[in-house]
Structure 1
Amino acid sequence: MTRPSSSTSRPRLADLGVPSGAFARGPENAITDVRGVRVGHATLHGDGLHTGVTAIVPDALAAERRSLPANLSVGNGYGKLVGATQLRELGALETPILLTSTLSVFRVADALLGHLLATPAHARTTTLNPVVGETNDGFLSDIRRRAVGEEQVTEALAAAAPGPVAEGAVGAGAGTVALGYKGGIGTASRLVEVAGRACTVGVLVQTNFSGTLRVAGVPLPAEELLADAPAQPVGNSCMIVVATDAPVDGRQLGRVANRAVFAMRGVGADYAQGSGDYAIAFSVHEQHGPAADDDLSPLFAATMDAVEEALINSVLAAETTVGPEGRTAHAVPIDRVRERLARAGAI
């Protein structure tokens, strides 16, 4: 059963009154605040499945511009990131970025490739590097069925839109768990000045990793906030996508991607052995020479702030989800989060 990708009524971090820090949030506080970046989801819920696809589509990729400056950071390479080596070697992104479930990643990559080769812009293309990331949603979904494929890829790409982005248990986040709670898709953005230019950095995450949740520095352990819940599942990966319109090249975007992975620690990630932690960063800026490295510190700081907020938003937005054999990932209890943040003076 496919459920439309729509945001829940659960609050985001900004709704709880947690300040944005040194940099203002963008209008939607989403990756789509970067001009020309769209997001779409296709979600499968029901019949033993909680899985899907999330598509990040930069409109700057077009017939007249076949690649964007981009790069990759591998925090821990326990994952199946299709397209990784060429992305890192050339510092270039040639396709939309798709996120999905571990055992569906290869079907999704093939479907993305087929979709693009059928477009007029690629009528004569003989080489193309699809980029598809994943996390393992096998705790809440029948992962061996490999239920995600061409139909869901087409749906996610067709649904890709600017504006607000659905978060939580949607798309590639339908069956993920994070920091002892139900995880999922999260997004955030920051407005920052780079080399005298007003820029935006936006982030989208797929959270499925272990550790102890921290919000604004306040620990929120699942074993304390979920008094009657069974033992929580251990998440095992995180995908982070960073988009910006800052004037940076592929090498510099590798440095941005590194900071995105660093930011996971701020929300309590334990970087476990089996956690595949990756960040992809790209820029839609029309290159006329990159900014000097000495001008990049604000971009690095804004990226880390946006990543932390996106990671937290993914957990705040996610609702309790029951998988096969009654396996359950519980939503973080918002009232208890508010209570602890207020007690700590964070809100």
Structure 2
Amino acid sequence: MNPLTDPAPEGPARPRARDLGLVAGDLPAGPLDAITDVPGVLVGHTTVRRPPDVHSGVTAVVPGAVGPHSPLPAGVFTGNGHGKLIGTTQLAELGTLETPVLLTSTLSAFRVADALVGWMLRRPGCAEVRSLNPVVGECNDGFLSDIRSRPVREEHVCAALDGARGGPVAEGSVGAGTGTGALGFKAGIGTASRVAAPGGARHTVGVLAQANFGGTLRVLGRRLTPDSLGLADGAGAGAAETGSCVIVVATDAPLDARQLTRLARRAVFALARTGAAYGHGSGDYAVALGTVPPGTGGAAVADAELGPLFDGVLDAVEEAVLNSLLAASTTTGFGGRTLPGLPVDRLLDALAAPARER
């Protein structure tokens, strides 16, 4: 076991949304229902936990051999800009991604960006690189973690990058999601995927969300308050204005940067399905990347054929946020503050009850 990249288990495995029959939309998921269903996309986490005061970490989304000499098409969209998405201006201007996308805690974002630059400069073929645009997103985990301690260091970043792999993706209180919460509950990292056929060609779109935003939980359109789940009124109150949501979208569809920006918009729009408030203090961002540059992976997808990919992004983000909630358990952190885990049994009971009883 690697103490940097393998987080201590929180307890028995918790079900994902799909295990409970909570499936958004009609499109099929990929075999893992994760962003790693997109060929070449890897994910690595480093969890930094020193209870009771520190619950933080870093998550790396690594799209194949991305680098300054092999940039990938990408787009970015800001729903509410109370955040620090490092690298966004060049990403928006040029429509190209030169590095993996890293997620972390707000006050650790700058150290993470510097560590990412160092890691990239040590990569093969980068000996002469003199300019690089690191892309790092952040959420404020200060409700549960001593954010001022800035606990994420270079070795944590390198461990997440070096340990990035395909296959199932750990969710909940792991990596950049270790100290985050959403909709009044403990949340964290969530992921999902969909397979669509724009123009008749099958492509996969996958998402990974770092969920840390306010609002009132909605599950497949049903509004669920703490009271309807049998919890004390105001459970998790106080965390609503402390964070953000950063979503990474990846697809193997041959899209250009403008089309990927359109996918990124849908990712932020999808948060409304989960009950997001898009509050003043929230930074709601999405970065969408394509693993296949236009012209190298078959016929380009026409704008009029993007509908299935839009649907896939909307459904995958909704499910990813729910996965982030279901995977996380009750956490007490800095200053004795607590975020409750989403109670699965009570959730299912509430969803099964007639509307007048909820």
TM-score (norm. length: structure 2): 0.92
- The one of 261, 266, 270 equivalent to 1:263 is 270
- After superposition, the Cα gap between the structure-2 partners of 1:295 and 1:270, relative to the gap in structure 1 and judged at 3 Å, is same
CA RMSD between the two structures: 1.8
Residue 340 of structure 1 deviates from its aligned partner by: 1.7
User: Distance between the aligned counterparts of 1:230 and 1:293, measured in 2?
Assistant: 44
- After superposition, the Cα gap between the structure-2 partners of 1:185 and 1:226, relative to the gap in structure 1 and judged at 3 Å, is farther
Q: Which amino acid in structure 1 is aligned with residue 307 of structure 2?
A: S
1:183-209 alpha-carbon deviations (Å, 9 max, x no partner) = 100000000002221000000000110
Match of 2:190 in 1: 186
Matches within 5 A, 1:301-316: 301-316=311-326
Match of 2:60 in 1: 55
Match of 1:210 in 2: 214
- The one of 250, 256, 260 equivalent to 1:249 is 256
Q: Helix, strand or coil: the match of 1:45?
A: strand
User: Distance between the aligned counterparts of 1:97 and 1:201, measured in 2?
Assistant: 16
1:155-205 alpha-carbon deviations (Å, 9 max, x no partner) = 111221101000000000000010010010000000000222100000000
State the aligned residue count: 344
- The one of 283, 287, 291 equivalent to 2:301 is 291
Q: Does 1:141 align with 2:148?
A: no
- Using the aligned pairs only, state the percent identity: 55
- After superposition, the Cα gap between the structure-2 partners of 1:294 and 1:330, relative to the gap in structure 1 and judged at 3 Å, is same
Residue 2 of structure 1 deviates from its aligned partner by: 5.3
Q: Helix, strand or coil: the match of 2:169?
A: coil
Match of 1:177 in 2: 181
Range that drifts further, 302-311 or 333-342: 333-342
Matches within 5 A, 1:1-347: 4-5=6-7, 9-47=13-51, 48-61=53-66, 66-228=70-232, 231-232=235-236, 233-235=238-240, 236-288=243-295, 290-343=300-353
* Preserved CA contact (<8 Å) 2:229 2:350: no
Q: Which amino acid in structure 1 is aligned with residue 58 of structure 2?
A: V
* Preserved CA contact (<8 Å) 1:165 1:187: yes
1:86-118 alpha-carbon deviations (Å, 9 max, x no partner) = 001101111000000000000000000001101
User: Distance between the aligned counterparts of 2:139 and 2:232, measured in 1?
Assistant: 27
1:227-246 alpha-carbon deviations (Å, 9 max, x no partner) = 24764132431000000001
- After superposition, the Cα gap between the structure-2 partners of 1:343 and 1:224, relative to the gap in structure 1 and judged at 3 Å, is closer
Q: Helix, strand or coil: the match of 1:25?
A: coil
- After superposition, the Cα gap between the structure-2 partners of 1:128 and 1:344, relative to the gap in structure 1 and judged at 3 Å, is farther
Range that drifts further, 270-279 or 216-225: 216-225
User: Distance between the aligned counterparts of 1:222 and 1:123, measured in 2?
Assistant: 54
* Preserved CA contact (<8 Å) 2:67 2:120: no
* Preserved CA contact (<8 Å) 1:180 1:221: no
* Preserved CA contact (<8 Å) 1:3 1:45: no
* Unaligned segments of structure 2, at least 5 residues: none
Residue 226 of structure 1 deviates from its aligned partner by: 5.0
* Preserved CA contact (<8 Å) 1:71 1:257: yes
TM-score (norm. length: structure 1): 0.95
User: Distance between the aligned counterparts of 2:225 and 2:156, measured in 1?
Assistant: 35
